[in-house]
Amino acid sequence: MATIGVLLGRKADEYMGKSAEVLGRVALIVIDVSMLHQHIWA
């Protein structure tokens, strides 16, 4: 039972890490685009 919990925990950590990485990249792109947008319209 404990080993299954550990394996699931590792998978969850891996998944969370990957989705956090993707979200971070998306956030950076969004920030870049909004900065560019302000620069163009300023």
Q: How far is CA 18 from the centre of its chain?
A: 6
What pLDDT is attached to residue 37? 86
What pLDDT is attached to residue 1? 57
> Structural domain of residue 27, as residue ranges?
1-42
What digits encode the pLDDT tens for the residues 1-42? Answer: 578 888 888 998 898 889 999 999 999 999 999 998 887 776
Single-letter amino acid, residue 1: M
Measured CA to CA in angstroms, residue 13 lies from 10, 17, 19 at distances of 5, 6, 10
What pTM was estimated for this model as a whole? 0.55
* Number of domains comprising the chain: 1
Single-letter amino acid, residue 6: V
Identify which of 35, 12, 31 has the alpha carbon closest to the alpha carbon of residue 23: 31
